[in-house]
Amino acid sequence: MSEQNCQPCSVADFERFARAKLPSSAAGYYRSGACGEHTLAFNQSAFQRIRIRPRVLRDVSTRDMAVTIQGREVKVPIGVAPTAMQKMAHPDGECANARAVGRAGSVFILSTLSTSSIEEVAAAAPDTIKWFQLYVYKDRELTKKLVARAEAAGFKALVLTVDASAWGMRYADARNKFILPPHLKLANFSGNLSSGVSEKTSGSALQKYIEDVFDLNITWDDVKWLKRITKLPVMVKGVLTAEDAKIAADIGVGGVIVSNHGGRQLDTSPASIEALPEISKAVGDRVEVYLDGGIRYGTDVFKALALGAKMVFVGRPAVWGLTYNGEEGVKKVLDILGNEFDTTLALAGCRSPADIRSDMVTHESTYSKL
């Protein structure tokens, strides 16, 4: 498929285009998962095993996809998850992505390891609801400064990644000897903290960087510490069990993002959608629960909301759109997912996300026994 000869109609179309266009190292970084990439595959195949039970003969002539997230209305419950180093996909990188999300009326999460700085993204997309994804650095003063910068720039929440006590074995990055192209930098930092991912090594420069500078030993006490140093709500991203979700809720986090890091950390951990029901059942009445991982169709969004998510986030699909045509490409991807979700609402007999009930989905095994 060429950009000139065939307009992409689905997220899969954008992915095919992006994988053909991107350099192999960048494509491998964005696309790949950990070890045998089983969890990477689970994230999508698990959605395919869930069936929608539509209701008919309901008046769905008018529909509204809006939901309230952290007290703010968003037009569609499909946001963009943190993804590092987006200028490998397009020169405008995170700024273009954030602008597109603002036009869609949703939430953009900026990665700590972005190639556009906190301040650049804030200036480029002032009207977009922006959250800042945080890794805790060994240098706690540096971490505090990142938090203060996000607050000053108008970001509305912090998203602490909690599933990185070790760095996942990403063999594609090791085989490609992944480095950030030398004309790019990690824009939130200076010195070696900015350029270290561009230094050649025997394997993945990113893995070496992470092991050198990230605090890989954070605990729940560090979540409490983070809550003490900020007035922003703190989300925890990377929770896959009810037990951990309950601890997070007890601490008073603002939200739980059910996520397996896009299948890039612990291989053979469950798909995000598989872990969602137990978590939403355990804490959904206490904190907002979100999901990231495996969303490729509007039907997936419906299934996630039926199983307890208030909102979903997509990472790779936004990068594929960014690769295709910058801001307009991301906006097109979000429009496709939004239109598919709107159509799913209608065909399932719902006028809004509030009408979606848990009994409107079931596992394929329910039907295989018939």
Q: Which of 90, 183, 261, 363 is catalytic?
A: 261
Q: Which residues pair with 311 in a beta bridge?
A: 290
Q: Is 261 a catalytic residue?
A: yes
In this structure, are strands 129-134 and 107-110 parallel, antiparallel, or unpaired?
parallel
Give the integer Cα–Cα distance in Å for 20 and 2.
9
Residue 91 annotated as lining a ligand binding site: no
- Phi, psi of 134, deg, nearest 5: -125, 130
Residue 135 annotated as lining a ligand binding site: yes
Q: Is 326 left (phi over 0), alpha (psi -120 to 50) or beta?
A: left
Residue 49 annotated as lining a ligand binding site: no
Q: Which residues pair with 130 in a beta bridge?
A: 108
The length of the chain in residues reads 370
Cβ–Cβ under 8 Å, residues 276 and 313: no
Residue 62 annotated as lining a ligand binding site: no
Cβ–Cβ under 8 Å, residues 30 and 262: no
Residue 111 annotated as lining a ligand binding site: yes
3-state secondary structure of 362: strand
Residue 16 annotated as lining a ligand binding site: no
Instruction: Spell out the SS3 assignment of 279-297.
Output: HHHHHCCCCEEEEECCCCC
Residue 24 annotated as lining a ligand binding site: no
Residue 53 annotated as lining a ligand binding site: no
Residue 296 annotated as lining a ligand binding site: yes
Positive or negative torsion for Cα 107, 111, 115, 120: positive
Cα maximum dimension of the chain: 63
Residue 116 annotated as lining a ligand binding site: no
Residue 264 annotated as lining a ligand binding site: yes
Positive or negative torsion for Cα 196, 197, 201, 202: positive
Residue 139 annotated as lining a ligand binding site: no
Residue 170 annotated as lining a ligand binding site: yes
Residue 103 annotated as lining a ligand binding site: no
Give the integer Cα–Cα distance in Å for 296 and 340.
10
Residue whose C-alpha is closest to residue 34's, from 200, 159, 174? 174
Residue 367 annotated as lining a ligand binding site: no
Residue 294 annotated as lining a ligand binding site: yes
Residues of each annotated binding site for FMN: 82-84, 111, 133, 161, 237, 259, 292-296, 315-316
Which residues are known binding-site members for glyoxylate?
29, 135, 170, 261, 264
Enzyme catalytic residues: 261
Annotated binding site: 29, 82-84, 111, 133, 135, 161, 170, 237, 259, 261, 264, 292-296, 315-316
